């Protein structure tokens, strides 16, 4: 039996960033959008006009954390807000909403990280990017 590994293509990454950018622009939110592959390697970084440069590393780290642990970064934010401070010591986590893993047919293929506005708005932008792939997965 063969298992085919699904990967994000450059076309996929461009769709994700275009969808995320459209959501950010629709709301006039200056953000940085980062997309990584399943190994956490940066595939595309997009800094919208007027986005603070400090958001560059934050967006990348949100994407890294989302794929490394295969879950939205919101999980750690919620846990820490509930007083579970031990998560602050977990290497590679970033307890700020805005990093989402990308799955295709049940396989984790990458992640999107967004930074620049409120964390729930960052997550909204990241989700719009994933939705732009049109996979419904």
> What CATH number is given to the structural domain containing 80?
3.30.450.150
* Token pair recorded at residue 90: 């977990």
In this predicted structure, what is the pLDDT of residue 2?
62
In a domain, 73, yes or no: yes
Looking at the 3D structure of the chain, how many domains does it have? 1
Amino acid 90: pLDDT: 82
Name the residue among 134, 115, 118, 137 with its Cα closest to residue 126.
Answer: 115
pTM: 0.93
Q: Give the span between the Cα atoms of 96 and 91, in whole angstroms.
A: 14
Closest CA to 67 of 33, 106, 108, 32: 108
Q: Which of 89, 130, 97, 105 is nearest to 4 (CA)?
A: 105
Q: Which domain holds residue 112?
A: 10-131
- pLDDT tops 80 at residue 51: yes
- In this predicted structure, the answer to whether residue 123 has a pLDDT above a threshold of 80 is yes
């Amino acid at each position: 039996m063969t298992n085919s590994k699904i990967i994000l293509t450059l076309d996929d990454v461009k769709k994700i960033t275009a969808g995320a950018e459209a959501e950010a622009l629709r709301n006039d939110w200056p953000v940085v959008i980062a997309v990584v592959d399943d190994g956490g390697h940066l595939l595309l970084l997009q800094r919208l006009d007027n986005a603070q440069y400090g958001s560059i590393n934050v967006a990348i780290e949100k994407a890294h954390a989302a794929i490394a642990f295969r879950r939205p970064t919101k999980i750690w934010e919620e846990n820490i807000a509930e007083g579970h401070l031990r998560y602050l010591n977990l290497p590679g986590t970033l307890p700020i909403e805005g990093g989402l893993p990308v799955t295709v047919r049940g396989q984790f293929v990458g992640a999107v990280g967004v930074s620049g506005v409120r964390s729930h708005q960052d997550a909204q932008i990241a989700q719009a990017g994933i939705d732009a792939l049109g996979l419904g997965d």
